[in-house]
Amino acid sequence: MVKKLTEGFWSAVARLILRNRILILLLLVAATVFFGLQWKNMRFSNTEANVLPDDHPQTVQYAEFVSKFGQEDNAIVLAVRDTALFNPNNFNRWNKLSKQFQAIPEVTSVISTENLQELVKDLKSNEFKLQPLYTNTPRTYQEVAAIKDKLFEQLPFYENLLFNKKTGTVRTVIYIDKDLLNTNVRNEFILTDLENLVDNFERETGLDVRVSGMPYIKTWNSKIIIDEIGKFILAALAVTSLIFFFFFRSFRATLIAMSVVVVGVMWAFGVLGLFQYEITILTALIPPLIIVIGIPNCIFLINKYQQEVKKHGNQAKSLQRVIIKIGNATLMTNITTALGFATFIILDSDLLKEFGIVASINIISIFLLSLLIIPIVYSFMPIPKEKHLKHLNKKWVDRFVGWMENVVRNHRIAVYLTAVTVLVLSIIGIYQIQITGSRIEDLPKDAKFFKDIRFFEEEFNGVMPVELVVDTKRKNGVLKLATLRRMDRISQEIDHIPELSTPVSVVNLAKYSKQAFYNGMPKYYQLPTSQENTFILDMASKSKGNANLLESFVDSTGQVARMTTFMRDVKTPRMEEIENDLLKSIEKIFPKERYNVYITGKAILFLKGTKYLIKNLILSLALAIGLIAIFMAYLFRSFRMILISLVPNILPLVITAGLMGYLGIPIKPSTILIFSIAFGISVDDTIHFLAKYRQELAANKWQIKKSVYNSLRETGVSMFYTSIVLFFGFSVFIISSFGGTQAMGGLVSATLLFAMLSNLILLPSLLLSLERNIANKKIFKKPQIRVLPLPDEENDKP
């Protein structure tokens, strides 16, 4: 029963399509309009995706931190390293810039030389208060020098916060409203207001202003992603259309194929809008991916149509056979490709889950579009003339296929020796791979904001926040001298880690309070002694001037304190070392029975997210291989055929991994993604070849060699065409500004090229060498999905 249903299915599909052409076209137009209307729901990501699941301990700890202190990454920093800044005109212009930012509604506060406050002792009220560092606008070099001297020499509280004493760099810190951090308002402020104000300042003073901070980095990151979507789509269309035209030498065929993928891109954007998914660095890749993956469908369908026309000259019969014979194989290949992407859906990461859902849906969509549009459009057109079929007789393609056939026929031992040698060398290379990554290494290296990140790393040890949260387990426990001393000890431990900046916490405020108590003498910038503690900290806690400062470091109950440090851009192995060193110091300094101390912040979330992602992507690849193996078992009903079909597809993955080891490309989230994508696509060639091989076996009465050679000659050209399109199509991602996207483009292209050679040379060689074990009527007796020749095929005349 199943056999009869599967045999008649594609014939029924062909009749349905060709008999309802107008209705199907109208439905496609309606669907395209519907998806076009969903574009308005698309939104570009303003947030930084957290790849960790919501119930992960690090996610829970970070959420707890945010609930107490708010998001820690709302600061934008501006800095100038130039002695000319202390020219009175430039210095006053720098202060004016701070006032301009303070006047913008999106800004909650600004800390700069313009509004710098000094903590002083008020004997009358017996408390500390904040007063301006200076009140009159400085007019002379001497007045500016006095302000600089006081700031650099007498106010250590602001060191590494507002200035670098060694280099003379001065910076301004701008705090954005936390409610606007993940909205378009943030982007408008940074890309318009901030950029204009900084440009005006630089033009008027001739000084170079460096800008950074996580909101600034995320905004420019998002802008580049948006800009690259259009660039990728145009590049993919240009490359694939040129290659397509080179192969077919037909404007008509090229225009039809491009129309199919353009509609596919419109549907891809529509699916993103329909699900209201944000456009991230991953989902931005889907439209050009649809172009690259959709063109091979068009190649198989149009090439088969032209072959049929050349064979018998009957247009209706040609279109029917295109749907019946190529539609079946193309469905299988698109399913395997979709499976490769769909494995991301099982991961707990929303970023990858959304990518997997949208990619797999649109891969099936582009299959449906190509299967429907190409036969229907050709049915309204005149039958191709002889000039349109010339490409089928290209001598260089025949020579290439002939070379492959000669290698398979006469040099199988050399093929196996080469494969084994490459496999051994690749395994050696794999052992040289490092599993690493950093927060910013994939960012555009030539972008100004990337160079500014490096500047702030050099001057202030980075912009990526790391938070130590100290829970004293009792109300007002933070201001106890014992707690402050322990926090001071951990601060000293952090100071010994070169990749971390000097932490800022309530300890700094306590030291500053003691300095103020002793009339601002810098040598007293230290924690109070036991004798001083009672009245100094009592004065500090009661002082109105300290209230806002204290709120930044301690929660409302006085039980929990934060210590903020910033980390340089380091690789994940070094980040792990730093984390482990800090945890050891925390365990030594803070007794667990009295304190609950943990490390959080976006830098730590990145570390944990990277490890989690790599672990889950390896699982995703294993699942992709398993699912496709099951699909092949369902298709071919033979365990031996499963093994043989997987060998030519796993070998290219091993070769690529080996190349990564030799080239020093680490395993990280942006590169581990390559293997699942490449495997899902490369197995398509295997299915095309084996489907044709099974068909040839039945047609040639189980003559193995004849079936293999016929399969190689008929599928070799289309497989070569599609592999070249995929190679150059994925290569367009090399033009990306992002290192991870560049790596994906180059490595997927290389993997697919290796897969083509493996499927056209190694796979036929294995079939011939193991013919007695794998090719017999029992093994192919009842396949679940059949690729059937039409009953009158043998009677066709050209």
Nearest to 74 by CA among 209, 191, 216, 211: 216
Q: Looking at the chain, how many residues does it have? A: 798
Element (H, E) at 320: helix 315-321
pLDDT on residue 283: 83
User: How confident is the model over 609-614, as a mean pLDDT?
Assistant: 76
Token duo for residue 438: 């950093």
Radius of gyration of the chain (CA): 33
pLDDT value of residue 351: 78
Query: What would the mean pLDDT of 332-355 be, rounded to a whole number?
Result: 80
β-sheet bridge partners, residue 597: 470
pLDDT at 539: 62
344/619 Cα distance (integer angstroms): 9
Tell me if residue 561 falls in helix, strand or coil: strand
pLDDT at position 119 is: 82
Q: What is the pLDDT of residue 259?
A: 92
Q: At 465, phi and psi to the nearest 5?
A: -75, 140
Give the confidence band of 375 by pLDDT, cuts at 50, 70, 90. Answer: very high
Chain segment 279-330, per-residue pLDDT in tens: 877 788 888 888 888 888 888 888 888 878 878 778 888 888 888 877 777 8
Separation of first and last alpha carbons in the chain: 36
Query: What are the tens digits of pLDDT across the range 774-798?
Result: 555 555 544 444 443 433 333 443 3
**What is the pLDDT at residue 47?**
61
The type of residue at 265 is V
pLDDT greater than 70 at residue 508: yes
Provide the percentage of residues in the chain whose pLDDT is more than 70. Answer: 89
pLDDT of residue 387: 63
- Residue 3: its pLDDT value, please? 43
- pLDDT tens string 437-448: 666 777 787 888
Query: Please, are residues 679 and 625 in contact by the beta-carbon 8 Å criterion?
Result: yes
- For the residues 111-121, what does the mean pLDDT come to? 86
- Please, are residues 439 and 149 in contact by the beta-carbon 8 Å criterion? no
More confident residue, 214 or 169: 169
What single letter denotes the amino acid at residue 171?
R
Amino acid at 690: L
Q: What is the pLDDT of residue 725?
A: 84
Cα separation, 219 vs 241, in Å, equals: 34
For tokens 């106890």, what's the residue? 480
pLDDT at 635: 65
Averaged pLDDT for residues 243-250: 81
pTM of the shown model: 0.76
Which pLDDT score is estimated for 794?
Answer: 39
Give the per-residue pLDDT at 671: 75
User: What's residue 360's pLDDT?
Assistant: 92
- The mean per-residue pLDDT over the stretch 166-192 comes to 85
Extended strands (E) in 136-265: 163-164, 169-176, 210-212
**Residue 785 corresponds to which tokens in the numbers above?**
């999905």
> How far is 352 from 335, CA to CA, in rounded Å?
19
pLDDT for residue 344: 81
Give the DSSP letter of residue 158.
G
* 27, 164, 579 from 497: Cα distances, Å: 64, 18, 11
Mean of pLDDT over the chain: 82
Burial class (CB in 10 A: 0-12, 13-18, 19+), 275: middle
pLDDT at 86 over 80: yes
Tell me how far apart the alpha carbons of residues 690 and 685 are, in angstroms, rounded to a whole number: 9
Q: Tell me which of 241-250, 664-673, 706-715, 774-783 is least confident.
A: 774-783
Q: Which residue has the tokens 């800390």?
A: 111
Check pLDDT > 60 for residue 5: no
Q: How far apart are CA 313 and CA 306, in angstroms?
A: 9
For residue 114, report the phi and psi dihedrals to the nearest 5 degrees: -75, -40
Residue 210 CA to residue 455 CA, distance in Å, equals: 8
Q: Average pLDDT for residues 557-586, to the nearest whole number?
A: 88
Per-residue pLDDT, 542: 56
SS3 70: coil
- Residue 732: pLDDT above 90? no
pLDDT at 789: 40
Where is average pLDDT lowest: 258-262, 348-352, 546-550, 602-606? 546-550
pLDDT tens sequence across 574-597: 888 998 999 999 999 999 999 999
Q: What is the pLDDT of residue 796?
A: 43
Residue 218: what pLDDT? 82
Q: Which of 737, 114, 787 is nearest to 449 (CA)?
A: 737
pLDDT of residue 80: 94
Q: In this predicted model, what pLDDT tens digit does every residue of 677-730 receive, in sequence order?
A: 777 777 777 877 877 777 777 777 777 788 888 888 877 777 787 788 888 888
The three-class DSSP label of residue 122 is strand
